Amino acid sequence: MKNNKLLAIIGLIFLNVVAGYLVISVAISGASKFEKTVKKAQDYCDQKLYQKSIEEYDKALAIKDSPEICVKQIEVYDKGIEYGEFTNSYDMQISVDNMVEKYYKNAKVYEAACNLCMKYENYEACVRYVKQAKSQKVKTDALNKIYEEIRYVYQNEYTMYENVSTEINGDYLVETNGMVSVIDAKGESVVPGKYLWATHFSPEMKVGKTSVKYAIVSKYDNESKQINYIVDNTGKKEIYIDGQINGAYAISEVKEGNVSKYIFPCHIGNQHFYYSFDPVTEQVKQISGPYLFAGAYRNGLAAVKIAENNWQIIDGSGKPVDKDFTDVVLNEAAECSPKGLIIAAKNGKYQIYKLNKSGKPEVVKDFSCDGAKAFVDGTYAAYKSGDKWGFVDSAGKVLIDPKYQDARSFSQGMAAVSVNGLWKFINTSDNVVIDSTKVDESTDSGATGFTNVKDFSASGKCFVEDGGYWTSLQLYYVEDSNNKKG
C-alpha cells in the first residue's frame, strides 16, 4: 500500500515536471516566433517595403501585446508616408486610434501618435490624443511640448464680412452689404433673415417645458416702414415692440431671490431705457430711463451713465449699488461685470472691483491704471499706463508690463497686441504664438496682416480683419474649462 502511495507521488512530480517543461517550451517557442516576426518587420522596413513591415508588426502584436511595437509601427507609417508608399489615409488613422485606445496609459504611444499627426497636419486627431492623455494624467516633457504647440494651431475659415461682433451667448452678429445676420459658432444662421440691426440671442429661458432663446431684430415691412420685434431661436415667435427703438443689446436674465426677470437696454434717439420682457405673457414694457447710456445686465448688475463723467452700477431693481464713477469699462456686449469683475474709474484712475458674496463690488487694492479693457475669461485684462498697454490679473498682479501700442484682454490663453499698427497674438509668457504679419516684396508696400481683431470665444473662434474684410479663425484645441459661465 505504501509502495502504491509512493508511486503516485512520484507520478505527480513527473507530470508536474513534464507540464512545466511544456509551458517553458511553448513560451520559448512563442518568444522565438515573436522575435523572428519583429526581425522580419524591421528587415522589410530597412528595405523600404513599408506595407510588408506593417503586416509583420501586426503578426507580432497578435502573438504578444507590446506598446513598443506599436511605437515602431507608427514610425513605419511615418517613413511610408515620406517615401510615398502610404497616404495619410483613413485606415491608417483607425490603426493609430486603436493603438492609443488600447495603450491609453502609455506615454510613448501618445508621443508617437501625436508627433505623426502634427507632422502631417492631422490636428483633429492630435487634439483627441492630447486631451485623452491629459484626462489619464499621462505627462511627459514631450507631451507638454506638443500641447503647447497644438493649442495655438488654427484654421482660417475664409469668411468675408464687412463687420462682426464678438461672441455673446454662443452667437455672433455679422454684417454683409449693410445688413445684419445672427450666426452660431459653426457660421450657420441661428434664425433666417437679414436685418437693419439685431441683438445677440439671450441665454436660454424656460417657457413651460421648453427652453427658448430670444433676440431683438429690426427690418422694413412691405410698406418700407421699420418694424422691431422679438424673435425666438426657432423662428416661430414674432413679438412686436416699440417701432421707435433704433438699437438694443441682448435680453439678460436678472434674478431677485428665486424670481427671474428678463431685461434689455435700448435707445430711442439719444436717450437710453430699460425694457422688461415676459416670455410667458409676451408682454414688453419700459421700466426705467432715460439715461445718457444704459448697459446690459450680467451677474445681476449693469452700468448706467447719469451725466457726463457720472456713472453708476445698478442692480436689477434699478437701484445704485455703487456710484460716482467717472467711467465704467464695458465689453462689446455693454456688460460691466463679466466673470464677476468690474473695472471702473473714480477721479480718472481705473481700479478693479470683485463682486463679493452679496453681489456687491469691492475694490482690489494696490492697483490702479490709466485705462483698461474688460476681462473676457477672468484671467488677465489689458490695462494702460501712460500710452502703453500691458496685462494684469483679477487680483491686481501685473503679468506683462505696459509695452504695446494697444491690446485686448486674454481669452483662450492668448491676447491680441498691436505692433506698428498690425495685430498679433501672444501667450502669457509674452511670446508671439499667432503672427499674421507678411511682407509683400513684389510691391514693396511694407508689412500687411491683421488690421483689427476680436477676442477668442469659448468655442475657440476669433474674427480678424485682413484686407478690408473680417474672416474667422478656428482653434483646433479648446480648453473645456473655458466654457464656464460668468
DSSP 162: S
Indicate left, alpha or beta for 457 from its phi (over 0: left) and psi (-120 to 50: alpha). Answer: beta
Q: What are phi and psi of 226, to 5 degrees?
A: -70, 130
**Cα-based torsion angle of the residue sequence 82, 83, 88, 91 in order, rounded to the nearest 10 degrees:** -140
Is residue 111 within 8 Å of residue 146, measured between CB atoms? yes
- List the one residue out of 304, 381, 369 whose CA is nearest residue 335: 304
- Cα separations in angstroms, 164 against 152, 180, 365, 370, 413: 22, 9, 36, 28, 22
Structural domain contains residue 48: no
Structural domain for 100, as ranges: 65-149
Q: Are 395 and 273 members of one domain?
A: no
- List the one residue out of 483, 409, 463 whose CA is nearest residue 161: 463
Structural domain contains residue 158: yes
Domain boundary among 95, 116, 149: 149
DSSP 311-378: EEEE-TTS-EEEEEESEE---TT-BS-GGGEEEEEETTEEEEEEE-TTS-EEE-TT--BSEE---SSS
What pLDDT score was predicted for residue 109? 97
What's the rounded Cα separation, in Å, for the pair 369 and 367?
7
Q: Are 280 and 177 members of one domain?
A: yes
Structural domain contains residue 185: yes
H/E segment holding residue 28: helix 2-46
**What is residue 78's three-state secondary structure?**
helix
Give me Rg for the CA atoms of the chain. Answer: 31
257 pLDDT band (50/70/90 cuts)? confident
Q: Are 422 and 463 members of one domain?
A: yes
Residue 225 clears pLDDT 70, i.e. is over it: yes
Domain boundary among 298, 328, 349: 298
Structural domain contains residue 396: yes
Q: For the residues 447-459, what does the mean pLDDT come to? A: 91
Q: Are 136 and 114 members of one domain?
A: yes
Least confident of 137-151, 251-265, 318-332: 251-265
What's the rounded Cα separation, in Å, for the pair 273 and 275?
7
Structural domain contains residue 35: no
Least confident of 4-13, 69-78, 189-198: 4-13
Q: What are phi and psi of 167, to 5 degrees?
A: -75, 130
What pLDDT score was predicted for residue 438? 64
Query: How does pLDDT run across 336-349, given as a tens digit for each residue?
Result: 999 999 999 998 89
Beta bridge pairs of residue 434? 425
Q: For the residues 3-23, what does the mean pLDDT come to? A: 41
Locus of grid cell 460691466: 336
Name the average pLDDT for the chain.
90
Q: Are 140 and 250 members of one domain?
A: no
Q: Into how many domains does the chain fold?
A: 3
Q: How many CB atoms are located within 10 Å of the residue 268 CB? A: 16
Residue 28 clears pLDDT 70, i.e. is over it: no
Structural domain contains residue 284: yes
Beta bridge pairs of residue 471? 464
What's the rounded Cα separation, in Å, for the pair 105 and 285?
59
Cis-peptide, bond into residue 290, ω within 30° of zero: yes
What pLDDT score was predicted for residue 31? 59
Q: Are 198 and 183 members of one domain?
A: yes
DSSP 400: E
Query: How does pLDDT run across 274-316, given as a tens digit for each residue?
Result: 999 999 999 999 999 999 999 999 999 999 999 999 999 999 9
Close Cβ partners of 371 (under 8 Å, ≥ 6 residues apart) = 350, 383, 384
Locus of grid cell 447719469: 306
Query: How does pLDDT run across 317-366, given as a tens digit for each residue?
Result: 999 999 999 999 999 999 999 999 999 999 889 999 999 988 899 999 98
What pLDDT score was predicted for residue 12? 39
pLDDT higher at 110 or 236: 110
- Cα separations in angstroms, 303 against 55, 272, 290, 315, 350: 68, 12, 13, 9, 15
C-alpha cell at 305: 451713465
Q: Are 176 and 288 members of one domain?
A: yes
Is residue 44 within 8 Å of residue 58, measured between CB atoms? no
Could you give the strand order of the β-sheet that contains 302-307, starting from the edge strand earlier in sequence? 293-294, 302-307, 310-314, 320-325
What pTM does this model have? 0.86
Q: Are 181 and 158 members of one domain?
A: no
Structural domain contains residue 385: yes
Is residue 159 within 8 Å of residue 472, measured between CB atoms? yes
Q: Are 139 and 172 members of one domain?
A: no
Q: Are 404 and 473 members of one domain?
A: yes
What's the rounded Cα separation, in Å, for the pair 464 and 468?
10
Q: Are 177 and 156 members of one domain?
A: no
Q: Are 97 and 70 members of one domain?
A: yes
Residue 273 clears pLDDT 90, i.e. is over it: yes
Structural domain contains residue 142: yes
Locus of grid cell 501618435: 113
Domain boundary among 279, 298, 317: 298
What pLDDT score was predicted for residue 389? 98
Least confident of 13-22, 65-74, 371-380: 13-22
Could you give the strand order of the β-sheet that contains 197-198, starting from the edge strand earlier in sequence? 197-198, 214-220, 226-232, 238-241
What's the rounded Cα separation, in Å, for the pair 16 and 305?
93
Q: For the residues 26-31, what does the mean pLDDT come to? A: 48
Q: How many CB atoms are located within 10 Å of the residue 196 CB? A: 16
What pLDDT score was predicted for residue 21? 41
14 pLDDT band (50/70/90 cuts)? very low
Is residue 140 within 8 Å of residue 130, measured between CB atoms? no
43 pLDDT band (50/70/90 cuts)? very high
